[in-house]
Protein backbone atom coordinates (compact mmCIF):
# COMPACT_ATOMS: atom_id res chain seq x y z
CA UNK A 1 0.00 0.00 0.00
CA UNK A 2 1.26 3.48 -0.89
CA UNK A 3 -0.25 6.76 0.19
CA UNK A 4 0.43 10.08 -1.55
CA UNK A 5 -0.42 13.49 -0.15
CA UNK A 6 -1.38 16.21 -2.63
CA UNK A 7 -0.89 19.84 -1.59
CA UNK A 8 -2.88 22.15 -3.84
CA UNK A 9 -1.47 25.69 -3.87
CA UNK A 10 -3.42 27.08 -6.84
CA UNK A 11 -2.16 27.70 -10.35
CA UNK A 12 -3.62 27.09 -13.79
CA UNK A 13 -4.52 23.48 -13.08
CA UNK A 14 -7.26 24.62 -10.67
CA UNK A 15 -8.43 27.70 -12.56
CA UNK A 16 -11.92 28.57 -13.78
CA UNK A 17 -13.09 31.85 -15.38
CA UNK A 18 -14.26 34.52 -12.95
CA UNK A 19 -17.11 36.98 -13.60
CA UNK A 20 -14.88 39.01 -15.94
CA UNK A 21 -13.70 35.93 -17.82
CA UNK A 22 -10.20 35.94 -16.28
CA UNK A 23 -8.86 32.66 -14.93
CA UNK A 24 -8.56 32.32 -11.17
CA UNK A 25 -7.77 29.23 -9.04
CA UNK A 26 -10.70 27.72 -7.15
CA UNK A 27 -10.56 27.06 -3.39
CA UNK A 28 -9.17 23.76 -2.15
CA UNK A 29 -12.44 21.92 -1.31
CA UNK A 30 -13.86 22.73 -4.74
CA UNK A 31 -10.69 21.54 -6.44
CA UNK A 32 -10.70 18.24 -4.54
CA UNK A 33 -14.28 17.58 -5.67
CA UNK A 34 -13.20 18.29 -9.24
CA UNK A 35 -10.27 15.87 -9.00
CA UNK A 36 -12.51 13.15 -7.56
CA UNK A 37 -14.74 13.48 -10.63
CA UNK A 38 -11.84 12.79 -13.00
CA UNK A 39 -11.44 9.38 -14.69
CA UNK A 40 -9.17 7.12 -12.66
CA UNK A 41 -9.07 9.28 -9.52
CA UNK A 42 -12.41 8.60 -7.85
CA UNK A 43 -12.49 7.30 -4.30
CA UNK A 44 -9.08 8.83 -3.57
CA UNK A 45 -7.45 6.03 -5.55
CA UNK A 46 -5.34 5.90 -8.69
CA UNK A 47 -6.68 3.51 -11.32
CA UNK A 48 -4.25 0.89 -12.66
CA UNK A 49 -2.17 1.24 -9.48
CA UNK A 50 -3.76 -1.13 -6.93
CA UNK A 51 -3.13 -0.02 -3.39
CA UNK A 52 -2.18 3.55 -4.33
CA UNK A 53 -4.35 6.09 -2.51
CA UNK A 54 -4.17 9.83 -2.15
CA UNK A 55 -5.22 12.55 0.25
CA UNK A 56 -5.42 16.27 -0.42
CA UNK A 57 -4.68 19.43 1.48
CA UNK A 58 -4.50 23.03 0.32
CA UNK A 59 -3.30 26.47 1.25
CA UNK A 60 -5.76 28.73 3.02
CA UNK A 61 -5.42 31.15 0.12
CA UNK A 62 -4.89 29.64 -3.33
CA UNK A 63 -2.39 31.55 -5.45
CA UNK A 64 -1.41 32.26 -8.99
CA UNK A 65 2.26 31.27 -8.83
CA UNK A 66 3.37 34.72 -10.01
CA UNK A 67 2.25 35.90 -6.56
CA UNK A 68 4.42 33.35 -4.71
CA UNK A 69 7.07 34.66 -2.32
CA UNK A 70 9.90 32.98 -0.40
CA UNK A 71 7.62 32.99 2.65
CA UNK A 72 5.26 30.70 0.70
CA UNK A 73 8.14 28.30 0.03
CA UNK A 74 8.52 27.83 3.77
CA UNK A 75 4.77 27.36 4.24
CA UNK A 76 4.86 24.56 1.66
CA UNK A 77 7.91 22.95 3.29
CA UNK A 78 6.19 23.02 6.68
CA UNK A 79 3.02 21.47 5.27
CA UNK A 80 5.05 18.59 3.83
CA UNK A 81 6.74 18.02 7.18
CA UNK A 82 3.36 18.05 8.95
CA UNK A 83 2.24 14.92 7.09
CA UNK A 84 5.62 13.42 6.27
CA UNK A 85 5.37 10.38 8.49
CA UNK A 86 1.92 9.30 7.25
CA UNK A 87 2.67 9.32 3.52
CA UNK A 88 5.04 7.68 1.06
CA UNK A 89 5.26 10.54 -1.40
CA UNK A 90 4.06 14.08 -2.01
CA UNK A 91 2.67 16.04 -4.93
CA UNK A 92 2.63 19.85 -4.83
CA UNK A 93 0.24 21.30 -7.41
CA UNK A 94 1.61 24.69 -8.38
CA UNK A 95 1.32 27.32 -11.07
CA UNK A 96 3.90 27.07 -13.81
CA UNK A 97 5.23 30.63 -13.76
CA UNK A 98 7.36 30.24 -10.63
CA UNK A 99 7.32 26.46 -10.24
CA UNK A 100 11.06 26.19 -10.90
CA UNK A 101 11.80 28.66 -8.10
CA UNK A 102 9.65 26.76 -5.60
CA UNK A 103 11.04 23.37 -6.64
CA UNK A 104 14.57 24.70 -6.24
CA UNK A 105 13.82 26.25 -2.86
CA UNK A 106 12.22 23.09 -1.48
CA UNK A 107 15.34 21.12 -2.38
CA UNK A 108 17.32 23.42 -0.07
CA UNK A 109 14.64 23.78 2.62
CA UNK A 110 14.10 20.01 2.98
CA UNK A 111 17.53 18.38 3.25
CA UNK A 112 17.29 14.75 4.25
CA UNK A 113 14.36 13.81 2.03
CA UNK A 114 13.82 10.06 1.91
CA UNK A 115 10.60 10.28 -0.11
CA UNK A 116 9.69 11.95 -3.42
CA UNK A 117 8.29 15.47 -3.49
CA UNK A 118 6.96 16.11 -7.00
CA UNK A 119 5.77 19.50 -8.19
CA UNK A 120 3.25 19.48 -11.01
CA UNK A 121 0.64 21.57 -12.73
CA UNK A 122 -0.57 22.28 -16.23
CA UNK A 123 -0.64 24.76 -19.06
CA UNK A 124 -4.42 24.38 -19.41
CA UNK A 125 -6.97 24.04 -16.55
CA UNK A 126 -8.30 20.65 -15.48
CA UNK A 127 -11.83 21.76 -16.40
CA UNK A 128 -10.91 22.08 -20.10
CA UNK A 129 -11.36 18.99 -22.28
CA UNK A 130 -8.20 19.48 -24.34
CA UNK A 131 -5.80 19.86 -21.44
CA UNK A 132 -2.51 18.50 -20.15
CA UNK A 133 -3.79 18.69 -16.57
CA UNK A 134 -5.11 15.16 -16.07
CA UNK A 135 -2.07 13.27 -17.46
CA UNK A 136 0.26 15.54 -15.52
CA UNK A 137 -1.72 14.98 -12.31
CA UNK A 138 -2.07 11.22 -12.71
CA UNK A 139 1.58 10.89 -13.69
CA UNK A 140 2.76 12.87 -10.66
CA UNK A 141 0.55 10.80 -8.34
CA UNK A 142 1.72 7.50 -9.79
CA UNK A 143 5.40 8.44 -9.65
CA UNK A 144 5.14 9.84 -6.12
CA UNK A 145 3.61 6.57 -4.97
CA UNK A 146 5.82 4.12 -6.83
CA UNK A 147 9.22 5.73 -7.49
CA UNK A 148 11.59 5.85 -4.47
CA UNK A 149 13.45 8.93 -5.65
CA UNK A 150 14.56 10.87 -2.53
CA UNK A 151 14.46 14.39 -3.86
CA UNK A 152 12.34 17.30 -5.05
CA UNK A 153 11.25 16.91 -8.67
CA UNK A 154 9.10 18.51 -11.35
CA UNK A 155 6.84 16.27 -13.43
CA UNK A 156 5.56 17.77 -16.65
CA UNK A 157 4.61 16.29 -20.02
CA UNK A 158 5.92 12.74 -19.33
CA UNK A 159 9.28 13.80 -17.86
CA UNK A 160 10.42 13.74 -14.25
CA UNK A 161 13.06 16.43 -13.78
CA UNK A 162 15.27 17.27 -10.83
CA UNK A 163 13.49 20.24 -9.28
CA UNK A 164 16.51 22.49 -8.95
CA UNK A 165 17.53 21.77 -12.55
CA UNK A 166 14.11 22.51 -14.08
CA UNK A 167 13.14 25.65 -15.99
CA UNK A 168 9.98 26.83 -17.66
CA UNK A 169 10.93 26.85 -21.33
CA UNK A 170 7.60 27.43 -23.10
CA UNK A 171 4.55 29.49 -22.15
CA UNK A 172 2.09 27.63 -24.38
CA UNK A 173 3.12 24.12 -25.41
CA UNK A 174 2.35 21.17 -23.13
CA UNK A 175 6.11 20.51 -22.97
CA UNK A 176 6.43 23.58 -20.78
CA UNK A 177 9.45 22.52 -18.72
CA UNK A 178 12.93 21.38 -19.54
CA UNK A 179 16.22 20.68 -17.82
CA UNK A 180 18.88 22.13 -20.13
CA UNK A 181 21.90 20.98 -18.12
CA UNK A 182 20.73 17.67 -16.61
CA UNK A 183 18.91 14.60 -18.00
CA UNK A 184 15.43 13.57 -16.79
CA UNK A 185 15.30 11.35 -13.71
CA UNK A 186 12.57 9.29 -15.37
CA UNK A 187 10.35 9.33 -18.45
CA UNK A 188 6.77 8.08 -18.59
CA UNK A 189 5.40 6.28 -21.64
CA UNK A 190 3.90 2.81 -21.94
CA UNK A 191 6.27 2.06 -19.06
CA UNK A 192 8.37 4.19 -16.69
CA UNK A 193 11.97 4.49 -17.85
CA UNK A 194 13.96 5.13 -14.68
CA UNK A 195 17.30 6.90 -14.82
CA UNK A 196 18.01 5.85 -11.24
CA UNK A 197 21.78 6.23 -11.57
CA UNK A 198 21.21 9.99 -11.47
CA UNK A 199 19.05 10.01 -8.36
CA UNK A 200 20.42 11.52 -5.19
CA UNK A 201 21.37 8.90 -2.60
CA UNK A 202 19.11 8.03 0.30
CA UNK A 203 20.05 10.05 3.40
CA UNK A 204 21.59 8.43 6.43
CA UNK A 205 19.80 8.22 9.76
CA UNK A 206 21.72 11.24 11.01
CA UNK A 207 19.92 13.51 8.50
CA UNK A 208 16.87 11.61 7.22
CA UNK A 209 13.54 13.36 7.64
CA UNK A 210 12.05 9.96 8.40
CA UNK A 211 13.61 10.36 11.86
CA UNK A 212 11.26 12.39 14.11
CA UNK A 213 14.09 14.29 15.80
CA UNK A 214 15.42 15.43 12.43
CA UNK A 215 11.98 16.64 11.37
CA UNK A 216 11.64 18.57 14.62
CA UNK A 217 15.01 20.21 14.06
CA UNK A 218 14.10 21.10 10.49
CA UNK A 219 10.86 22.74 11.68
CA UNK A 220 12.83 24.91 14.09
CA UNK A 221 15.21 25.93 11.31
CA UNK A 222 12.30 26.74 9.01
CA UNK A 223 10.79 28.94 11.71
CA UNK A 224 14.06 30.84 12.01
CA UNK A 225 14.37 31.21 8.23
CA UNK A 226 10.80 32.49 7.99
CA UNK A 227 11.54 35.16 10.58
CA UNK A 228 14.73 36.18 8.78
CA UNK A 229 13.14 36.72 5.36
CA UNK A 230 11.81 40.16 6.25
CA UNK A 231 15.33 41.38 6.96
CA UNK A 232 16.92 41.28 3.51
CA UNK A 233 16.37 41.29 -0.25
CA UNK A 234 17.97 39.47 -3.18
CA UNK A 235 17.40 41.30 -6.49
CA UNK A 236 18.15 39.85 -9.93
CA UNK A 237 19.74 41.94 -12.69
CA UNK A 238 19.72 41.07 -16.40
CA UNK A 239 22.86 42.53 -17.98
CA UNK A 240 22.49 44.25 -21.35
CA UNK A 241 24.67 46.28 -23.68
CA UNK A 242 25.13 49.77 -22.27
CA UNK A 243 24.03 48.97 -18.71
CA UNK A 244 25.21 51.72 -16.39
CA UNK A 245 26.95 51.57 -13.06
CA UNK A 246 24.19 53.81 -11.69
CA UNK A 247 21.66 51.05 -12.41
CA UNK A 248 23.56 48.63 -10.20
CA UNK A 249 24.02 51.25 -7.49
CA UNK A 250 20.37 52.29 -7.58
CA UNK A 251 19.17 48.70 -7.33
CA UNK A 252 21.42 47.91 -4.39
CA UNK A 253 21.00 51.17 -2.48
CA UNK A 254 17.29 51.64 -3.17
CA UNK A 255 16.02 48.17 -2.33
CA UNK A 256 14.20 47.85 1.00
CA UNK A 257 14.98 45.81 3.02
CA UNK A 258 18.63 46.05 2.12
CA UNK A 259 20.07 43.67 -0.45
CA UNK A 260 22.30 40.92 0.93
CA UNK A 261 22.58 39.10 -2.38
CA UNK A 262 22.49 39.88 -6.09
CA UNK A 263 21.97 37.43 -8.96
CA UNK A 264 23.47 38.67 -12.22
CA UNK A 265 22.23 37.23 -15.52
CA UNK A 266 25.38 37.82 -17.48
CA UNK A 267 26.42 37.13 -21.08
CA UNK A 268 27.68 33.76 -22.30
CA UNK A 269 30.00 32.08 -19.83
CA UNK A 270 29.45 34.79 -17.23
CA UNK A 271 30.79 37.82 -19.02
CA UNK A 272 29.87 41.43 -18.36
CA UNK A 273 30.89 44.96 -19.36
CA UNK A 274 34.47 46.03 -18.70
CA UNK A 275 33.46 49.62 -17.91
CA UNK A 276 35.49 50.51 -14.78
CA UNK A 277 32.55 52.28 -13.11
CA UNK A 278 30.30 49.26 -13.63
CA UNK A 279 32.89 46.89 -12.18
CA UNK A 280 33.56 49.28 -9.30
CA UNK A 281 29.87 49.24 -8.38
CA UNK A 282 29.91 45.44 -8.18
CA UNK A 283 33.21 45.39 -6.30
CA UNK A 284 31.79 47.87 -3.80
CA UNK A 285 28.77 45.65 -3.27
CA UNK A 286 31.04 42.68 -2.64
CA UNK A 287 33.10 44.64 -0.10
CA UNK A 288 29.92 45.67 1.73
CA UNK A 289 28.92 42.03 2.21
CA UNK A 290 26.51 41.56 -0.71
CA UNK A 291 26.96 38.08 -2.21
CA UNK A 292 27.04 38.52 -5.99
CA UNK A 293 26.22 35.50 -8.16
CA UNK A 294 27.42 35.34 -11.75
CA UNK A 295 24.83 33.44 -13.82
CA UNK A 296 24.24 33.30 -17.56
CA UNK A 297 21.29 34.41 -19.67
CA UNK A 298 21.85 31.38 -21.91
CA UNK A 299 19.52 28.38 -21.43
CA UNK A 300 22.22 25.70 -21.51
CA UNK A 301 25.88 25.62 -20.61
CA UNK A 302 27.81 26.92 -17.65
CA UNK A 303 29.52 29.96 -16.18
CA UNK A 304 33.22 29.11 -16.15
CA UNK A 305 35.08 31.29 -13.64
CA UNK A 306 38.20 32.79 -15.14
CA UNK A 307 37.49 31.62 -18.68
CA UNK A 308 37.54 35.16 -20.11
CA UNK A 309 39.20 38.43 -19.21
CA UNK A 310 35.69 39.94 -19.05
CA UNK A 311 34.59 37.46 -16.36
CA UNK A 312 33.10 38.96 -13.21
CA UNK A 313 35.07 36.84 -10.73
CA UNK A 314 37.67 39.61 -10.39
CA UNK A 315 35.12 41.81 -8.56
CA UNK A 316 34.14 39.04 -6.16
CA UNK A 317 31.21 37.48 -8.03
CA UNK A 318 30.69 33.76 -7.46
CA UNK A 319 30.43 31.70 -10.64
CA UNK A 320 27.22 29.66 -10.80
CA UNK A 321 28.65 26.93 -13.04
CA UNK A 322 25.62 25.17 -14.61
CA UNK A 323 23.10 26.15 -11.93
CA UNK A 324 19.88 27.66 -13.24
CA UNK A 325 19.09 31.27 -12.34
CA UNK A 326 16.02 30.02 -10.46
CA UNK A 327 18.10 27.63 -8.38
CA UNK A 328 20.79 30.26 -7.83
CA UNK A 329 18.23 32.75 -6.55
CA UNK A 330 16.42 30.23 -4.33
CA UNK A 331 19.66 28.84 -2.90
CA UNK A 332 20.98 32.31 -2.13
CA UNK A 333 17.74 33.28 -0.36
CA UNK A 334 17.70 30.06 1.68
CA UNK A 335 21.35 30.36 2.76
CA UNK A 336 21.00 34.02 3.72
CA UNK A 337 17.81 33.23 5.65
CA UNK A 338 19.76 30.57 7.53
CA UNK A 339 21.89 33.39 9.00
CA UNK A 340 25.20 32.43 7.37
CA UNK A 341 27.85 35.11 6.88
CA UNK A 342 28.86 36.20 3.35
CA UNK A 343 32.02 34.08 3.30
CA UNK A 344 30.10 30.94 4.22
CA UNK A 345 27.35 31.73 1.73
CA UNK A 346 29.89 32.23 -1.06
CA UNK A 347 31.49 28.90 -0.33
CA UNK A 348 28.20 27.02 -0.33
CA UNK A 349 26.86 28.78 -3.42
CA UNK A 350 29.73 27.28 -5.42
CA UNK A 351 29.30 23.83 -3.83
CA UNK A 352 26.61 21.29 -4.82
CA UNK A 353 24.39 20.51 -1.83
CA UNK A 354 21.24 19.13 -3.50
CA UNK A 355 22.39 18.13 -6.97
CA UNK A 356 21.85 21.65 -8.28
CA UNK A 357 25.22 22.21 -9.97
CA UNK A 358 28.22 20.50 -11.47
CA UNK A 359 31.64 21.95 -10.71
CA UNK A 360 33.40 22.37 -14.05
CA UNK A 361 37.03 23.28 -14.61
CA UNK A 362 37.59 26.31 -16.85
Hey, which residues are catalytic here?
Answer: 12
Q: Quote the CA–CA distance of 280 and 259 in Å, as a whole number.
A: 17
Type and span of the H or E element at 164: none
Q: Quote the CA–CA distance of 321 and 301 in Å, as a whole number.
A: 8
Report DSSP letters for 14-71, one per residue: GEEE-TTS-EEEPPHHHHHHHHHTSTT-GGGB-TTSTTEEEEEEEEEEEE-GGG--HH
Report DSSP letters for 119-155, one per residue: EE--SS-TTSSS-SHHHHHHHHHHHHHH----SEEEE
For strands 159-162 and 167-168, give the pairing.
unpaired
Q: Quote the CA–CA distance of 362 and 351 in Å, as a whole number.
A: 16
Amino acid sequence: MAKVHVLYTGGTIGCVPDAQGALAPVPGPEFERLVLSMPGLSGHRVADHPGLTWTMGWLDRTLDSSAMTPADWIVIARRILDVYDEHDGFVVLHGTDSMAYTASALSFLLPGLSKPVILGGSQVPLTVALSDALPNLVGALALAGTLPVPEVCVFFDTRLLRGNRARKIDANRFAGFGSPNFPPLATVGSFVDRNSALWLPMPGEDSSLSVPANRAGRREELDAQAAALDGFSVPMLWLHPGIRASTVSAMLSGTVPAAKGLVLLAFGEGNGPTDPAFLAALAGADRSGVVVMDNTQVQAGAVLPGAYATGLGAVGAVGAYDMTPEASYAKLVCLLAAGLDPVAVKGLMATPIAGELTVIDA
